[in-house]
Structure 1
Amino acid sequence: MDVIELESFLNSPPRGFSTERCAGYTVVKWDQENSCVFIDEIQSSKGNVIFCNSPGREITVRTLGEYTDLRRQLTSMTIYILVSACTNTTVEEKRNRDVPDLRYYVVAINGSHPMIRWEMERGLDQTISSVAGESYSVDVDVSAALQGWVGENFQNLVDAEKVKPTWKDTHFTIKYRSDALFDIPYWFGFSKRQFKISYHGR
């Protein structure tokens, strides 16, 4: 696992990534044979950042074949998502500011690692229904792994003050959409599920 501040990621892309800076935006290209990138377009301090061919944080599959292919990718490639570190300083509290400081980090998760692969396969097996024709939505949450990786002492410097952030957007979502006419669990909101990835390698 790795956690890289977005600006550092763009300035020095890891292996398999490249960036092209244009007026007002940055385009990120990546090796689709070895990586899964689930990052939406984001507004950074230097303009919009666009990850080419990324489906975003929500991945929709409509057939068993598409799900099988996605499962293979999740358990054999490095997964990249964008998380935000949200902080409120004492200075901001005194100013009664409603908008906290936000910093973005790219989280890289090695889906082929035996422990992560086991957690991913177990989570998918336990949450995804085998009943044909049922739609569902599954959140894959990496907050536990992220917190374990950065540690309890991780802090951001904001207004000359060291602040421990609150992590947000620490998940990606798999949505299976069936064409069944009588998908009752989906209609009533019973098809939303979640599992956590906790292994971080520290």
Structure 2
Amino acid sequence: MQKNVISQFVMDVIELGSFVNSPPHGFTAERRAGCTLVKWDQEKSCVFIDEIQSSKGKVIFCNSPGREITVRTLGECTDLRRQLTSKTIYILVSACSNTKVEEKTNREVPDLGYYVVAINGSHPMIKWEMERGLDLTISSVAGESYTVDVDVSAALQGWVGENFHIIVDAEKVKPVWKDTHFTIKYRSDALFDFPYWFGFSKRQFKVCFNNSAGLSDGCIVLRV
């Protein structure tokens, strides 16, 4: 892929089964008994996906730290920031129907399935949003622990638009997106980290953009 094409890539939404069956560039999927191992190029991607029990078996993204990333030094924090703003970020989201999003159930797989969201952290618009959010939420006070939720729901909804539907039993279903975040945990060794112990160190920011930047807002239909 040419460099100018890569720079224009902002976001993609891929059904998990399609992702595993036809892995994108930099990913490979190896089927084992009862599970699928997904390997990826760590030089180009940040994968924040936990082990998944899908409708077709277990899916494991090798070397992924999962949805929660823990850093313990400012050096690790700086390195994570560099990765988030220079690589493609992959997280797993759940698609649910409006009628079932609040329904309590023992099913492990959401009723509309899992989707992998890919976000180009090096795209100028995403990079600016990510850096701004990190600057606003991560304290420079030495010795303070904190937890930051990076929520991509606004970016996801802005990308797919209002006309996005999933076809289920020949009917169009507008999904409600859940689990649209990943978490950065900074853990200090300070013994008297009162904000953390009293729950005052939790922060959140949303990564978002609007289609006025020239992004398509046309109808996108995914099939499951």
TM-score tier, shorter chain, comes to: over 0.9
How do 1:168-179 residues align onto structure 2 when only pairs under 5 Å count?
A: 168-179=178-189
Aligned to 1:152, which of 158, 162, 165?
162
1:181 is aligned to 2:159: no
Cα distance between partner residues in 2 of 1:186 and 1:169: 24
Name the counterpart of 2:52.
42
Aligned to 2:204, which of 194, 199, 202?
194
Deviates more, 1:56-65 or 1:159-168: 159-168
Aligned to 1:123, which of 125, 129, 133?
133
Name the counterpart of 2:62.
52
> Identity percentage over the alignment?
84
1:134 is aligned to 2:144: yes
Kept after mapping to 1: 8 A contact 2:151/2:180: yes
Cα distance between partner residues in 1 of 2:98 and 2:134: 35
Shift of residue 102, structure 1, vs aligned partner = 3.5
Cα distance between partner residues in 2 of 1:155 and 1:113: 26
CA RMSD across the alignment:
1.5
Shift of residue 45, structure 1, vs aligned partner = 1.6
Q: Deviations over 1:137-194 (max 9, x none)?
A: 0011110110111111212233443221110000110000001000000011110000
Name the counterpart of 1:65.
75
Name the counterpart of 1:11.
21
| Cα distance change on mapping 1:147 and 1:133 into 2, 3 Å | same
Deviates more, 1:131-140 or 1:161-170: 161-170
Aligned to 2:88, which of 51, 70, 78?
78
Cα distance between partner residues in 2 of 1:151 and 1:124: 26
Aligned to 1:165, which of 175, 180, 190?
175
User: Structure 1: any 5+ residue segments left out of the alignment?
Assistant: none
| Cα distance change on mapping 1:18 and 1:196 into 2, 3 Å | same
Q: Deviations over 1:10-69 (max 9, x none)?
A: 010000000000111000000000000000000112110000000000000000111011
Cα distance between partner residues in 2 of 1:84 and 1:77: 23
Cα distance between partner residues in 2 of 1:98 and 1:182: 39
Kept after mapping to 2: 8 A contact 1:19/1:29: yes
TM-score norm. by structure 1 comes to 0.92
| Cα distance change on mapping 1:65 and 1:98 into 2, 3 Å | closer
User: Structure 2: any 5+ residue segments left out of the alignment?
Assistant: 1-10, 217-224
How many aligned positions are there? 196
SS, match of residue 139 in structure 1: strand
Cα distance between partner residues in 2 of 1:190 and 1:16: 39
Cα distance between partner residues in 1 of 2:25 and 2:132: 29
TM-score norm. by structure 2 comes to 0.84
Cα distance between partner residues in 1 of 2:15 and 2:164: 13
Kept after mapping to 1: 8 A contact 2:112/2:175: no
